[in-house]
Structure 1
Amino acid sequence: MGSKPPHDEKSENGPKDKYLIVYVLFAFFGVIHLLPSTFFVTAHDYWMYKFRDTSSDEVDSSHRTVLQKEFSPSVTISTHVASVLSSFLTLFFGHKLNVHLRLYGSLFIILVLYVISAIFIHVDTDSWQTGFFVLTMFIIAGINAMTTHAGLTFFSILYKFPADYLGHYLNGQGVAGIFTSCLQVLALAVGISTTKSALVYFWIVIGLILACLVFMIAVARYSNFYQHYNSKTTLEKEERRMMTAKEFFSALKLIWKSLSVLFFYLWAVNPTHPAITSLIVSEGEGQGEWNDVYFVPVTTFVLPAIGDYIARFVTIKLKPIASLDGIWFVAFSAARIAIFVPLFMLCNVQPRSHLSVVFPHDYQYIIIMVFFSLSNGFLLSIGNLIIPKTVPPEKLEDAYHVNLVGASILMGSLSFLGFVSVELL
């Protein structure tokens, strides 16, 4: 299934990326790849309102309903199960369709699902909260299935370009988190209601996906640099052969360190963020706007998004780091489990029935989140950057695909951890 990417001399003799158009496209797709699922999580107040105790229009953080408490863990499970199924279907059957057709089609389906979600903002769902909860999980599953499909498909294009373009894509993913979380705070600052802010979020995603589709089609048609690396003959010949089991396991052996980094990364993230962090309450709740309105959006979403991006940017710029033995990154990723999981569980998470609060102060939670987000961004970047260092060029496409499939399997198999951590509180 894999093919050998262009030689370095091809980039020297071929056309240049005029005006950095392809650079911008790859960064833009990095944003779009994470934006749909990120916006669903960031619209936290909207979902808490939808699944509140309907006897009141107010959301009480100290007396959350079952649906409110289970929303974040359920999103995690729906997301990861859908990603696993989509990964295998794409890996073994995606070759039957042209790569651009798959990419455009998946983005269009995400667009339609977001339009449906935007419509339901105007629908009173108080009388059928459980039914709406289930429907929402199906929509989220559909969005993430198509997002995974688009990601796998995009790597069939990305691997053919110079290695620096992977960094642009990873940076774009970091921008997605900052964009969505800052938008949430801005909506709160101007006094938009939870339903109107959710409407703004969803229609922004719709607009950006439309823009991305138009941008991709234009670049594919008019950019000589893009066409030079992504020639029709390569696409047609290489995308229409199914990966064999032997090729799958061969690639898996080459990237085991990258997947091990992700495995331990998820053991630290899935039980905590956002399953637990979205339930953390300020020590000064009821004493002002910062405590009641801005604390969770800023400390649980904006802060980690910025920390994640800073770590991604620095890691990508410090290229020698990726040349180190990957076993050190595996060890660091594993060590984080024993550090961050208990730290977050002992913060001021409400409601709780079993564990005591050891870190009741806001500054303690913020310090923990800063180090958590920086290490998140570092591990997510380094896990991808070490792949080209350890995989021969002719097997690079297969390695990227197997890495994404393995990531989906790990995310799906460990998605239950959010439920467990919430029940242990």
Structure 2
Amino acid sequence: MAFVPEEDTHRSSNSTYRAVGRADQEPLLGKQLTRLPPSLQRPEDRCHATYAIFFSLGIGGLLPWNFFVTAKEYWAFKLRNCSGPASRGYPEDSDILNYFESYLAIASTAPSVLCLVANFLLVNRVPVRVRVLASLIVTLSIFVVMSVLVKVDTSSWTRGFFTVTIICMAIVSGSATIFNSSIFGLTGSFPMRNAQALISGGAMGGTVSAVASLVDLAASSDVRDSALAFFLTAVVFLGLCMGLYLLLPRLEYARFYMRPVGPVRVFSGEEELPQDSPHSPLVASRPLGSHTPPLRPILKKTAGLGFCIAYLFFITALIFPAISTNIESLHKDSGSPWTTKFFVPLTTFLLFNFADLCGRQVTAWIQVPGPNSKVLPGLSLLRTGLVPLFILCNYQPRVHLTTVVFRSDVYPVLFTCLLGLSNGYLSTLALIYGPKIVPRELAEATGVVMSFYIYIGLMLGSACSALLEHLI
């Protein structure tokens, strides 16, 4: 295991890593890419303020998506025309309701890829400050609209409400993507603990939304009041994120790593930097043209990690939430609140997000396997086995695969823990390694590319989950 206490590390402007002496262990980073000039003294992160800000921004980055997904009871209420008999006149509404999670997942991932491409092209054209604040304002505005719609009677235009919801989800997803990729790109210039804080904050956002959902279910008898509290909470937290981001440049520690860097240069492409030569040039002497970061060398450097990220999120999106939210308790007919009202919120949303958070947080202390290890892609592929395990639980409705193999409520709990822990730990490792294997000048652009790998996996997983639901 590679433990990385901050006081026992070699530091550079683009990396914080510990060299490992044993021959059979690889260092966290195989190459030291840049060094700080002796005249620059690295300030301390007083009271861990920068770490806390990135952690909070991570929560805010994924909180909107999680609030959309976990408001399952609210969407079901709205899409039933707010009255049982009315929905029977429109058979197509049943299809909307049964496959709503899949539609929502597709609407959340497809626009994200386009926004990531746009964000990559804007890295050197539009300041990160403008991109971050604009995306937060757009997301906040959409949640204000959704809060208003909570109290609007949509029973006469259910399909119209569905269309509005999908459009809002697409806009939120796109703006959140620009926010997340911009912030993650920004952390590429910071030590890895800050990128880890941002990624762990994303998992905390899911945990917070799951806990909020449970509290609302327990405390409120009106699903509309629960949803209103949900969306207003998101509005407040998004406003808080805007304040925290504006505070970040005022911190001495943050200003040190956010300082301007030299002109971006292109990889030579033919040479490898020797492991024992930290002063060897990684870039050619030819400076890059002004605006667009060099995509090809970034893709070449991050291809292995990119495959791991894309496949990890493909498997996760294939299962969560479309498949996992339709696994019912085997004792649902008992009428117990545990087996009816709270089973899915507890065993799916809360448990997955908490396990994901734990997996991500572990990477603050343990970072194995390394970025060049073949074990990382091997473990990523091994998660494929989780798909049939979830399908063979009590997924409902079942049309083609009628056999339920795992006839106990313990199994979906166990499988969800494995899904969350493996997703959190392995994806965080791959994500924090990415911006550290390129020069600091390309760190922000690489962060955007790493986010692109995430959304490719999510988009493919979401599309395949819709197909998988129909096959079950």
**In structure 2, distance between residues paired with 1:41 and 1:58:** 25
Q: Which amino acid aligns with 1:298?
A: L
Q: Give the number of the structure whose alpha-carbon radius of gyration is greater.
A: 2
2:353 to 279, 302, 305: 305
CA shift digits 1:306-357 (9 cap, x unpaired): 11111111133103x14263421112111211x1111111111111211122
> Scaled by the length of structure 2, what TM-score is found?
0.81
CA shift digits 1:100-135 (9 cap, x unpaired): 121111101100000001111011112211111111
Q: Is the 8 A contact 1:316 1:381 kept in 2?
A: no
1:282 to 315, 329, 337: 329
Deviation at 1:8, TM superposition (A): 5.1
Q: Is the 8 A contact 1:322 1:386 kept in 2?
A: no
2:96 to 51, 67, 70: 67
Give matches, 1:120-269, under 5 Å. Answer: 120-220=149-249, 222-231=250-259, 233-234=260-261, 241-244=290-293, 247-269=294-316
CA RMSD, aligned part only? 2.8
Q: How many residues align?
A: 414
Q: Is the 8 A contact 1:98 1:236 kept in 2?
A: no
**In structure 2, distance between residues paired with 1:49 and 1:104:** 34
**Residue of structure 2 in register with 1:387 after alignment:** 434
CA shift digits 1:182-205 (9 cap, x unpaired): 111111222342211111111111
Mark the CA change 1:198 to 1:391 in structure 2 (over 3 Å): closer, same or farther.
Answer: same
**In structure 2, distance between residues paired with 1:402 and 1:167:** 17
Unpaired stretches in structure 2, ≥5 consecutive residues: 1-12, 15-33, 266-288
**In structure 1, distance between residues paired with 2:247 and 2:412:** 46
Is 1:38 matched up with 2:38? no
**In structure 2, distance between residues paired with 1:116 and 1:10:** 52
Provide the secondary structure at the position in 2 that maps to 1:391: coil
Provide the secondary structure at the position in 1 that maps to 2:340: helix
Q: Which amino acid aligns with 1:268?
A: I
Mark the CA change 1:160 to 1:307 in structure 2 (over 3 Å): closer, same or farther.
Answer: same
Q: Is the 8 A contact 2:60 2:237 kept in 1?
A: yes
Is 1:349 matched up with 2:395? yes
Deviation at 1:180, TM superposition (A): 0.8
Greater displacement, 177-186 / 7-16: 7-16
Mark the CA change 1:360 to 1:59 in structure 2 (over 3 Å): closer, same or farther.
Answer: farther
Greater displacement, 195-204 / 92-101: 92-101
Greater displacement, 104-113 / 18-27: 18-27
**In structure 2, distance between residues paired with 1:325 and 1:237:** 25
Provide the secondary structure at the position in 2 that maps to 1:323: coil
2:383 to 333, 336, 339: 336
**Residue of structure 1 in register with 2:286 after alignment:** none
CA shift digits 1:143-172 (9 cap, x unpaired): 110111112221342122222211111221
2:138 to 85, 88, 109: 109
1:292 to 340, 349, 353: 340
**Residue of structure 2 in register with 1:78 after alignment:** 107
Mark the CA change 1:218 to 1:270 in structure 2 (over 3 Å): closer, same or farther.
Answer: closer
**In structure 1, distance between residues paired with 2:81 and 2:133:** 40
Percent of aligned pairs sharing the same letter: 26
Mark the CA change 1:318 to 1:12 in structure 2 (over 3 Å): closer, same or farther.
Answer: farther
Deviation at 1:273, TM superposition (A): 0.9
**In structure 2, distance between residues paired with 1:184 and 1:51:** 19
**In structure 2, distance between residues paired with 1:303 and 1:318:** 22
**In structure 2, distance between residues paired with 1:34 and 1:259:** 21
**In structure 1, distance between residues paired with 2:192 and 2:337:** 46
Provide the secondary structure at the position in 2 that maps to 1:96: coil
Deviation at 1:12, TM superposition (A): 7.3
Unpaired stretches in structure 1, ≥5 consecutive residues: none
Q: Is the 8 A contact 1:42 1:180 kept in 2?
A: yes
**In structure 2, distance between residues paired with 1:15 and 1:163:** 16
> Scaled by the length of structure 1, what TM-score is found?
0.90
Q: Which amino acid aligns with 2:61?
A: H
